[in-house]
Amino acid sequence: MREEIKNSSRKRIGYIEDGLYGKKIVLDDKAHKLGEIREEYGGKLVVYDWMLHRLGHWDNRNDITYDKNGRRIGKGNLLLNFLFDNL
């Protein structure tokens, strides 16, 4: 299944596709892989770039997004912001 990603002006900027083992593959609007989102222990979602470097995670228990160094980014799931500049 493919889900569209739109920016604040409602322009399509990419897609999220279902991958194997529950991974979500994030593609730009030209279908180039930008990264992926994986579910890890405890329901934590982790975002990786296209070279599989960890960029950050979202903790569903307290609904806060953190960067790769553990610094708080904001409230809610903001993982796509690591892959898109124009959300």
DSSP state of 83: T
SS3 82: helix
**Would you state the pLDDT for residue 45?**
97
d(CA 9, CA 21): 33
**Structural domain of residue 74, as residue ranges?**
2-82
Q: Considering the domain boundaries, does residue 38 fall inside one? A: yes
**Contacts (Cβ under 8 Å, ≥6 apart) of 44:** 57, 58, 59, 60
The reply to whether the predicted model has a pTM over 0.75 is yes
Q: Considering the domain boundaries, does residue 49 fall inside one? A: yes
What pLDDT tens digit does each residue of the chain (87 aa) get?
899 999 989 999 999 999 998 899 999 999 999 999 999 988 899 999 999 999 999 999 999 999 999 999 999 999 999 999 765
CA angle 6, 25, 27 (to 5 degrees): 45
Q: Which helix (H) or strand (E) holds 15?
A: strand 12-18
Q: Considering the domain boundaries, does residue 18 fall inside one? A: yes
Q: What is the mean pLDDT of the chain?
A: 94
